[in-house]
Amino acid sequence: MSDQDSGSREHVDVQSLAYEPNPKHKPTPTPGRRGSICPRDVDATALLRASTLWDNKRYATDGTNAYCAQRHSENSWHGYPVGWDEVPPAVVAGWVAENKVERRTIRRAKRRQV
C-alpha cells in the first residue's frame, strides 16, 4: 500500500523522511511515565521509510509488532509501538496482502494484550 493509496492522499519521497525520537517517550515499563519509545533493536528509520501514511500518521510493521509515527516538523517524525487495534483496518489488510505480516501473528498479539 503506497502513500497514494492511503487515507491522506499525500505523496512524499520516503527517503527524505527522518526519524527523531521524542524525549517525552520513555522505555516501557516506566512507572509514572506515559508514552513509549521503540525498542533498541528496532531500526526506526527503516520502519519509517517502509511505513504507510494514513490520516496524517504513518504506520509500519516489522512482521511481529505495529508502530505509529507522527510528524513534528516538515519531514521529521517520532514513532512508538502501538497495539494492533490502533492500526487502521485498511492498512492491516494491505500489509497482509503484501505479506508484511500474517493474520496469525496479529491474532496472537491481540490475545496477549487481553
Tens of pLDDT, residue by residue, the chain (114 residues): 444 344 544 556 666 687 766 656 555 554 444 456 666 788 888 999 999 999 999 999 999 999 999 988 777 888 888 999 999 999 999 999 999 999 999 999 988 876
Number of domains in the chain: 1
First to last CA, the chain: 29
Show the domain range for 93. 3-113
**Strands 76-82 and 66-71, sheet pairing:** antiparallel
pLDDT value at position 35? 53
Residues 67, 61 contacting (CB under 8 angstroms): yes
